[in-house]
Amino acid sequence: MKYAGLTGGKFKLLGDDEVELIHESALKLLKKVGVKVESEEFLEILADNGAEVDYEESVAKLPPKTVKRYLETAPSSVTLYGRKEEYDLDLEDRKVHYGTGGAAVKIMDLDSDEVRPPTLEDQARLARLVEGLDNVHFYQTPVVPTDVPEEDLSLNSIYASLRGTHKNVQESVTSPEKVDEIVEMGSLIAGGEEDFLSRPFISFVTSWMVSPLKLDVETTKVLRRVVDYEIPVSLSTAPVTGSTAPATLAGLLAQIHAEELFGVSLSQMFSEGAPVLYGPVPAAANMKNMAFLAGAPETGMMNVATTQLADYIDVPIYSDAGETDSKLPDTQAGIEAAFNLLQVGLAGGNYIHHAAGMMESMLCVADEKFVIDNDAIGMALRVLRGIDVDQDRLGLDVIEEVGPGNNFLTQQHTVNYSRSEEFYKPDVIDREDRTSWESQGSMDTREKARKRAGEILENSEENLLSEEVDRKIRDRFNIHLSEK
């Protein structure tokens, strides 16, 4: 976690005039087209707070002045707390954090290599794995366990995650009542509701918008309850070029920005000052079959552009990078993940989810890919750190001492910096010569990562919750994970 919060913003694909044009276009969409809102309750809230509402058509339109007013109340800085202060994440300016994402419906078994439905035990195990990966800064629940009834799923998913990691855990829920339950569970862990809400180590993601421009009423009820508690929430909307958004990158950006402006405004109507993350998850489509392309460079490019849009309105951003369309943790997976991890990091995505573990267009995860991506993120973070230039690093004295035609191998300056963090030292990426590599078993990166994942899990704690707290949670809720 040492390099959480490095500053990006060095990479921009849009000029200032293009950012302003997209923003003004989004405002036009909200004023002229509006958003479909099939809820009289929400239409009344919108009408009472400056929206132009057509009750017959169930459409709410936001004038630019209304959007501007609510952008001014949205915080420009949001903190996601860990259960240990060292895991706190300050989301502001262009500070960068990488973490996991959800919600995969398949997992590649670490032992058998077979693809199967994920379980609650997988959620807990992956949390333990992420706890041991220094470059993975937060834990958005990566899988959807299939061995838990729907009514118990969200709470059990978060419970399993908190057993395995001290990092901030993010999850989606299906109803306001489930939010209440999760707050209650968090309060049992923290020692009281006031203690929990002062440092909520659980955050939420809500997919409250159905692109294009239609409110998901039930999820918006969840959003309202979350902001009532003043718990940070990501406003996720995920249009795809040519299917749920225009076929052009610029057209998608105008639409997704309009959707996000509506979401930020509505959340502030619910609770002024609510800590929200501008949450675009744009994606390109395969124009041959309209399938979602997670690893396409255009997907990364749109995520870069949205960091500029978030910067323009001064709201922290929930960014997206690291996925692949490959079905294995193979060469394609490495290329697609690393390419977009670096460009979105350089752009300054605050909360870059899906950055570790994901394959098959976000449908599947693999333990070893979390480990491989930890190294890819580490390399991206090294680039973000940049080059330190000072008198000692310039090394003029040592260059003079060595002189022309000699080498620097025996110099103390070389020894000092070889042991420093001047160079990133990967965990599983191989940098040995062939003889050393062969003596260690001639393992490829995937095989080495599988071995490393096993080592991390073997040395991890099975349950980070105290016996007393665990018992209170089990007495209060229907917990499906075994007590082992």
Give the pLDDT confidence of 336-352 residue by residue, as tens digits: 999 999 999 999 999 99
- 403 in a structural domain: no
Helix (H, G, I), strand (E, B) or coil at 195: helix
Integer Cα distance of 24 and 11 in angstroms: 22
Q: What is the mean pLDDT of the chain?
A: 97
Which of the residue ranges 59-73, 140-154, 286-300, 470-484 would you say has the lowest mean pLDDT? 286-300
List, in sequence order, every residue forming a beta bridge with 91; answer none if it has no partner. Answer: 78
The pLDDT confidence band at residue 483, using thresholds 50, 70 and 90, is: confident
At 377, give phi and psi (nearest 5°).
Answer: -65, -40
Q: Are residues 117 and 101 in contact, defined by beta-carbon separation less than 8 angstroms?
A: no
Torsion angle in degrees (nearest 10) through CA of 43, 183, 160, 177: -40
- 341 in a structural domain: yes
- The CB-side HSE value for 276 (13 A sphere, CA atoms) comes to 37
Helix (H, G, I), strand (E, B) or coil at 245: strand
Integer Cα distance of 414 and 78 in angstroms: 41
- 232 in a structural domain: yes
- 66 in a structural domain: no
Task: Select from 305, 312, 373 the least CA-distant residue to 343.
Answer: 305
Which one-letter DSSP state was computed for residue 175? S
Helix (H, G, I), strand (E, B) or coil at 284: strand
Q: What is the mean pLDDT of residues 144-169?
A: 98
pLDDT of residue 425: 94
pLDDT of residue 289: 86
- 88 in a structural domain: yes
pLDDT in tens, 370-406: 999 999 999 999 999 999 999 999 999 999 999 999 9
Alpha helices by DSSP H, 134-279 = 153-164, 176-190, 193-198, 217-228, 249-270
Q: Are residues 275 and 199 in contact, defined by beta-carbon separation less than 8 angstroms?
A: no
Q: Looking at residue 338, which CATH number applies to its domain?
A: 3.20.20.480
Q: Residue 198 sits in which domain range?
A: 6-14+71-385
**Three-point CA angle 213, 258, 77, nearest 5°:** 125
- 324 in a structural domain: yes
pLDDT in tens, 218-277: 999 999 999 999 999 999 999 999 999 999 999 999 999 999 999 999 999 999 999 999
Helix (H, G, I), strand (E, B) or coil at 113: coil
- 58 in a structural domain: no
Q: What is the mean pLDDT of residues 122-132?
A: 98
pLDDT of residue 269: 98
- This model's pTM is above 0.85: yes
| Number of structural domains the chain divides into | 1
The pLDDT confidence band at residue 163, using thresholds 50, 70 and 90, is: very high
Integer Cα distance of 254 and 235 in angstroms: 16
Task: Select from 235, 313, 241, 321 the least CA-distant residue to 279.
Answer: 235
Task: Select from 52, 54, 71 the least CA-distant residue to 62.
Answer: 52
Task: Select from 110, 133, 187 the least CA-distant residue to 155.
Answer: 187
- 404 in a structural domain: no
pLDDT in tens, 441-458: 999 999 999 999 999 999
Integer Cα distance of 84 and 65 in angstroms: 41
